[in-house]
Amino acid sequence: MTETTGYSGGGPVLIKNPHLDSMEEDILYHLDLGTRTHNLPAMFGDIKFVCVGGSPNRMKAFAQFMHKELGLEGSGEDLADICAGTDRYAMYRTGPVLSISHGMGIPSISIMLHELIKLLHHAKCRDVTIIRIGTSGGLGIEAGSVVITDTAVDASFQPRFEQVVLGDVVVRSTDLDRDLAEELLACSKEVPEFPTLIGHTMCTYDFYEGQGRLDGALCSFSSEKKLEYLKRAHEAGVRNIEMESTAFAAMCRLCGLRAAVVCVTLLDRLEGDQIRAPREVLREYQQRPQRLIAAFIRRRLGLRPLPATEGTTDRHGP
Amino acid sequence: MTETTGYSGGGPVLIKNPHLDSMEEDILYHLDLGTRTHNLPAMFGDIKFVCVGGSPNRMKAFAQFMHKELGLEGSGEDLADICAGTDRYAMYRTGPVLSISHGMGIPSISIMLHELIKLLHHAKCRDVTIIRIGTSGGLGIEAGSVVITDTAVDASFQPRFEQVVLGDVVVRSTDLDRDLAEELLACSKEVPEFPTLIGHTMCTYDFYEGQGRLDGALCSFSSEKKLEYLKRAHEAGVRNIEMESTAFAAMCRLCGLRAAVVCVTLLDRLEGDQIRAPREVLREYQQRPQRLIAAFIRRRLGLRPLPATEGTTDRHGP
């Protein structure tokens, strides 16, 4: 069974669940929110941009950064965690921007996305753009490069997400919005201090054996087999590797959300496995997708004219 | 390819990676620890019990609770997060007990376990028992029951964990230590206020469609199909459903760690999907596995004699 519903583009958030409207109350358990306990349209109805990333601290820092970038009053230092009643996820809002953590891996982002998409539906949000800003391992590109994903692929380099439903496998498309990816690449010219490129992103269920690392507690393969696998991935167009993009792409596509994945690379996996850069270098790397997305949101909101300067952007791909 | 290495039982922690010993430094990136920056044998060499669970706050509360249960000096309120330099995981120690969060889902626990197992190996720990104390959905048992897992099974009710290695699937056994499970069941007589039982635990990659919930953002099946699936699971011996046990069982088994999974059930999935119990009830439920494990560790350390009173324990299973 293959599901390949396309984008609605700019409309409401689509819930593909006929049971939901007959529920008297919907408890978004892992977000500590609910339709009876919270006025979701009042809290979230005007949200236009949702940014998600693994680390709660990073998503708080992003919300504070966006607060300044949007020119809003106050320092933004006191933004409250909307999900403070639970430590599963953290959520912050500033202006029309919602910033949420999703933890690591497909199951963790999938729980958050189910509840976030229901939240956006209950809040009657329209015209929502959702962007994952994350970290990743690069393939054949300089550490610190930012990769905008055109297509998320699995560990066999296929553009698909296999979802188990009642014990059976359902295959879903992982295409992302090409126009949005190109728009983001254009925005990257406003932040020319680091390379930005478009490429495929490989999504795995495991950081060590699943990504061909030689430094886990378990490893049964040679350095040669590892490099052979990573080079095949590179030849298939993969430019970075992370652990959430296929599920993110598949769910957002099915629910009519324009979606993008923008990840910085912390190392080049063709050079090694361990993340050895000093903490301050890694911290600056992690700000790069945030700066790109801030430029994009500012441009969308008409807060700054398009600069004429050329950036060091590049386009890679198969 | 099937890997079925058994337990070493009571010996050192086994690293199944020939590359590791030739590394000059091992950076445990997601724990913010390393062999060059930290004296791991001094910090962790005497650890005998490792307890892991999804929520960082809950694992902090467990460490504080154990501190009191072990009769150690001070209130335990000021236990420091050993992984404070990162927000990926939280780690606390008190006496011979290490308490670590693992987030939600197989990929998240798998990253933590790779780095934890390497940590225990570098620290030269011996005779380590590791227990996951978590939350779950029950199947045909009263909410608040505690399930000790005999075997972790996948969404097809099979005792296996499929690990992708360089794009190929490797099948691993998910048996847990039966003697340890029986020892824990015996300990449950010391905490007779709630039912404890032994059964199979089903592990899924998804909380909504993957566990047959009707209340996600996506749902393509009927209430009848859902119940048919859950009843088949129950007939196969499944008594609760969570999202980490197969990977946990497989990795601990391969690395010679005596392992157990002890989860409280927050609801009976044959009765519904939403977690509706009040927060204070859920909080008390979540303390139940902690109380059982505290009784077990106290008994192992000879801190309290075996009580003669009978508890309300029961044994379920196929």
Tell whether the model's pLDDT for residue A148 goes beyond 80: yes
Per-residue pLDDT reduced to its tens digit, B262-296: 999 999 999 999 999 999 999 999 999 999 999 99
Q: Which residues of B are annotated as a binding site?
A: 88, 132-135, 211, 213
Q: Do B19 and A210 touch (CB under 8 A)?
A: no
DSSP B147: E
Between CA B210 and CA A36 the distance in angstroms is 26
- Contact criterion met (CB below 8 Å) for B50 and B120: yes
> Is B42 in CB contact (< 8 Å) with chain A?
no
- Contact criterion met (CB below 8 Å) for A45 and A12: no
- Chain A, residues 230-249, CB within 8 A of chain B, namely 243
Pure H helices in chain B: 40-44, 56-69, 106-122, 178-187, 223-235, 245-254, 279-300
Closest residue by Cα to residue A229 from A250, A247, A209: A209
Q: Would you place residue A307 in the very low, low, confident or very high pLDDT band (cuts 50, 70, 90)?
A: very low
Q: Do B107 and A106 touch (CB under 8 A)?
A: yes
Tell whether the model's pLDDT for residue B313 goes beyond 80: no
Per-residue pLDDT reduced to its tens digit, A50-85: 999 999 999 999 999 999 999 999 989 999 999 999
Q: Would you place residue A11 in the very low, low, confident or very high pLDDT band (cuts 50, 70, 90)?
A: confident
Per-residue pLDDT reduced to its tens digit, B223-267: 999 999 999 999 999 999 999 999 999 999 999 999 999 999 999
Q: How far apart are the first and last CA of chain B?
A: 27
Q: Residue B138 corresponds to which amino acid?
A: G
> Is B278 in CB contact (< 8 Å) with chain A?
no
Q: Would you place residue B89 in the very low, low, confident or very high pLDDT band (cuts 50, 70, 90)?
A: very high
Tell whether the model's pLDDT for residue A48 goes beyond 50: yes
Q: Do A16 and B111 touch (CB under 8 A)?
A: no
Q: Do B108 and A108 touch (CB under 8 A)?
A: yes
Q: Would you place residue B9 in the very low, low, confident or very high pLDDT band (cuts 50, 70, 90)?
A: low
Distance from CA of B146 to the nearest CA of A (A): 20
Q: In which order are the strands placed within the sheet that holds A168-173?
A: A2-3, A168-173, A160-165
- H or E stretch covering A292: helix A279-300
Question: Predicted ipTM?
Answer: 0.93
* Of residues A107, A121, A163, nearest to B106 (C-beta): A107
Per-residue pLDDT reduced to its tens digit, B27-83: 999 999 999 999 999 999 999 999 999 999 999 999 999 999 999 999 899 999 999
Tell whether the model's pLDDT for residue A98 goes beyond 60: yes
> Is A103 in CB contact (< 8 Å) with chain B?
yes
User: Which two three-digit tokens encode residue A161?
Assistant: 């997400």
C-alpha dihedral over B4, A212, B107, B50, to 10 degrees? 60
User: Which two three-digit tokens encode residue B86?
Assistant: 């990162």
* Of residues B25, B108, B166, nearest to A221 (C-beta): B166
CATH for B134-303, options being 3.40.50.800, 3.40.50.1580, 3.30.70.1450, 3.40.50.720: 3.40.50.1580
pLDDT of residue B312: 39
- Contact criterion met (CB below 8 Å) for B202 and B278: no
Distance from CA of B213 to the nearest CA of A (A): 9
Q: Which residues does chain B have within 8 Å of residue A53's beta carbon, measured at their own beta carbons?
A: none
pLDDT of residue A222: 98
**What per-residue string of b and e applies to A17-40 under the rule 16 or more CB within 10 Å gives b?**
bebbeeeeebbbbbbbbbbeebeb
- H or E stretch covering B215: none
- Sign of dihedral through CA atoms B228, A163, B111, B154? positive
* Of residues A170, A221, A276, nearest to B165 (C-beta): A221
Distance from CA of B265 to the nearest CA of A (A): 15
Q: Do B225 and A279 touch (CB under 8 A)?
A: no
Q: Would you place residue A9 in the very low, low, confident or very high pLDDT band (cuts 50, 70, 90)?
A: low
C-alpha dihedral over B13, B170, B259, B23, to 10 degrees? 20
- Considering just the CA atoms, what is the radius of gyration of chain A in Å? 19
Which residue do the tokens 């859920």 mark? B282
Percent of chain A with pLDDT over 90: 91
Q: Locate the domains of chain A by residue range.
A: 22-127, 134-303
- Chain B, residues 188-227, CB within 8 A of chain A, namely 204-210, 212, 214-221, 223, 225-226
Q: Which residues does chain B have within 8 Å of residue A156's beta carbon, measured at their own beta carbons?
A: 167
- Considering just the CA atoms, what is the radius of gyration of chain B in Å? 19
Distance from CA of B149 to the nearest CA of A (A): 20
